[in-house]
Amino acid sequence: MKPDVQTVWGWLDKVPDPEIPVISVVDLGIIRDVIWDGDTLEVAITPTYSGCPATSIINLDVETALRDHGVDKIRLKMQLSPPWTTDWLSAKGAAKLESYGIAPPSPAGGPSHCPRCRSSDLQKVSQFGSTPCKAHWRCLSCLEPFDYFKCI
Amino acid sequence: MPQDALFQTLLRLGDNTLVLGHRVSEWCGKAPVLEEDIALANTALDLIGQTQMWLGYAAEVESAGRSADDLAMLRDVWDFRNILMVERPNGDFGHTIMRQFLFDAWHRPLLAALAQSNDHRIAEIAAKAVKEATYHLERSAETVIALGDGTEQSHARMQDALTLLWPYVGEMFESDEVDAQMAATGVVPAPETLKDSWMQTVRATLIEATLAIPEDEFAHKGGRTGVRHTEHLGHMLTQMQWLQRAYPGANW
């Protein structure tokens, strides 16, 4: 029995991103397509950053989740184009990031406010952070450092 | 022959990012401050990621049963096609950042042009990589300005780095029959067409950094053709390829 693709999307929305487990791989916008090719389930995944070390773990986690739901024939396709953009981060994902303490991407090129105290008195510490997708900022009101999800 | 020219072109792209990525990764754990350590490691990671895509495609084009890993870890100096500038030892932090800036200012317009390539795969990889290169350029240009227009000591070191690196920039705009062939079919831009955009970025940044642009046009070359690498690449490979050299075929 083949589950419909909407059901599969629902399963994948329960697969956490390995580095930011508060959001799912669907929230992150890296699952680009789910289709049935005959009796094989094909999932197209796009990397966030070229060298993101989480990519292979994500593939493994997606495959494991699908197998746990009884899908045996799985094909994971790496899809480069169009390249991933933070515009694909879901609204649900952005809200979860913020409550987790990571400022969500903002087109202004920096966080709009501190995810803890909501102050807008902020300072960039470094353009890079603990993962390729984040930068390091500091709030000058509550003095807490925080991660900002870079906008690309 | 067209396939061989495409293979050479992909090696040039992939070897630049591989060798520079490895050099930059050498800072991991010993950069002057933690934030810079993280930034350098992230930059290296992006470059190595791009390498996987370029050399992965190169291996497919070659169709000799080699993988991206084989190309990276099992070739010796004379088979590398990177420009000489990226194989230079890191020197001090200022030298590393200046080299990164001179490279990024070229890499970004190169990738932007490659994103329009007639070769679909090249266009896809470049469209992905150009986002990362844009970010790298933003940071390296800012840091060059901060250090150049910084203290007497940081200014002097940046000027020294620029003087030392300047004879290596010309190779980015060199071309040979491989480039001519690939440019004629719209696969890559002719190298010299990138010079104006590069010079504009470099001039604007270096002026703001209060650094003097050297006037000498002499250019070391031989890296991208593989004719003559510097002695440094071989030393670097003994580190980068150590595992495969000590334990051939090791896998995990």
A53 pLDDT band, cuts 50/70/90, is: confident
Contact check, Cβ <8 Å, A132/B46? yes
Mean pLDDT of all residues belonging to chain B: 96
Tell me which residues of chain A have a C-beta less than 8 Å from any C-beta of chain B: 47, 49-53, 80-84, 125-130, 132, 136, 150, 152
Interface test with A, best of B16, B20, B45 (most A CBs within 10 A): B45
Q: Quick check: is B32 in a domain?
A: yes
pLDDT at A67 over 80: yes
Contact check, Cβ <8 Å, B45/A49? yes
Distances (CA, A) of B104 to A52, B77, B124, B174, B252: 20, 24, 19, 17, 33
Q: Break chain A down into helix, strand, coil percent, rounded to 5.
A: 25, 25, 50
**CATH code for the domain of B76:** 1.20.1260.10
Tell me which residues of chain B have a C-beta less than 8 Å from any C-beta of chain A: 35-36, 38-39, 42-43, 45-50, 52-53, 123-125, 127-129, 131-132, 135, 138-139
> Chain A residues with CB inside 8 Å of B36's CB?
126
Interface test with B, best of A56, A87, A127 (most B CBs within 10 A): A127
Domain that holds residue B61: 3-246
Q: Quick check: is B187 in a domain?
A: yes
Residue carrying structure tokens 């003095």: A143
Contact check, Cβ <8 Å, A51/B45? yes
Rounded distance, CA B75 to CA B32, Å? 33
Q: Cis bond leading into B189, ω under 30°?
A: no
Rounded distance, CA B238 to CA B241, Å? 6
- Please report the pLDDT score of residue B187 as a whole number: 97
A 10 A CB-CB count for B63 gives: 9
A131 pLDDT band, cuts 50/70/90, is: confident
Q: Quick check: is B101 in a domain?
A: yes
Greatest Cα pair distance, chain B, in angstroms, is: 54
Q: DSSP letters along B100-136, please?
A: HHHHHHHHHHHHHHHTT-SSHHHHHHHHHHHHHHHHH
Query: What's at A115, amino acid-wise?
Result: P
Task: Note the ipTM here.
Answer: 0.87
Min distance B218 CA to chain A CA atoms (Å): 35
Residues A112/A121, Cβ–Cβ less than 8 Å: no
> What does the pLDDT look like over B20-69, one tens digit per residue?
999 999 999 999 999 899 999 999 999 999 999 999 999 999 999 999 99
Contact check, Cβ <8 Å, B131/A47? no
Q: Quick check: is B252 in a domain?
A: no
Min distance B46 CA to chain A CA atoms (Å): 5
> Closest-CA residue in chain A for B134?
A152
Query: Within chain B, how many helices (H) and strands (E) appear?
Result: 11, 0
Q: Quick check: is B241 in a domain?
A: yes
Nearest to B89 by CA among B233, B213, B242: B233
Contacts of B132 (CB under 8 A, 6+ apart): A49, A50, B46, B49, B50
> What does the pLDDT look like over B140-196, one tens digit per residue?
999 999 999 999 999 999 999 999 999 999 999 999 999 999 999 999 999 999 999
Q: Taking residues B65-84, what's their average pLDDT?
A: 97
- Please report the pLDDT score of residue B252 as a whole number: 77
- Please report the pLDDT score of residue B134 as a whole number: 95
- Please report the pLDDT score of residue A118 as a whole number: 95
Q: Quick check: is B156 in a domain?
A: yes
B204 pLDDT band, cuts 50/70/90, is: very high
| Segment among A84-88, A105-109, B157-161 with least mean pLDDT | A105-109
Q: Quick check: is B9 in a domain?
A: yes
Q: Quick check: is B251 in a domain?
A: no
If phi > 0 it is left, if psi is from -120 to 50 it is alpha, else beta; for residue A143 that is left
The rounded Cα B58 to chain-centroid distance in angstroms is 17
The rounded Cα A82 to chain-centroid distance in angstroms is 16
> Chain A residues with CB inside 8 Å of B53's CB?
50, 80
Q: DSSP letters along B191-247, please?
A: GGGGHHHHHHHHHHHHHHTT-PPP--------TTTSS---HHHHHHHHHHTHHHHHS
Is pTM beyond 0.90? Reply is yes
pLDDT at B105 over 80: yes
* Percent of chain B at pLDDT exceeding 70: 100
Rounded distance, CA A23 to CA A100, Å? 9
Size of interface A-B (CB pairs under 8 A): 64
Mean pLDDT of all residues belonging to chain A: 93
Query: Which helix (H) or strand (E) covers residue A98, if one does?
Result: helix A91-100
The rounded Cα B83 to chain-centroid distance in angstroms is 7
Residue carrying structure tokens 């780095």: B161
pLDDT at A129 over 80: yes
- Please report the pLDDT score of residue A2 as a whole number: 87
> Chain A residues with CB inside 8 Å of B139's CB?
127-128
Contacts of B204 (CB under 8 A, 6+ apart): none
Contacts of A108 (CB under 8 A, 6+ apart): none
Rounded distance, CA B211 to CA B118, Å? 39
Count of domains for chain B = 1
Rounded distance, CA A24 to CA A50, Å? 19
Interface test with A, best of B52, B116, B128 (most A CBs within 10 A): B128
Interface test with A, best of B18, B33, B38, B57 (most A CBs within 10 A): B38
Rounded distance, CA A128 to CA B32, Å? 15
> Chain A residues with CB inside 8 Å of B132's CB?
49-50
Rounded distance, CA A56 to CA B38, Å? 21
Min distance A152 CA to chain B CA atoms (Å): 7
- What are the two backbone dihedrals, phi and then psi, of residue A10, each rounded to the nearest 5 degrees? -60, -40
Q: Taking residues B200-224, what's their average pLDDT?
A: 96
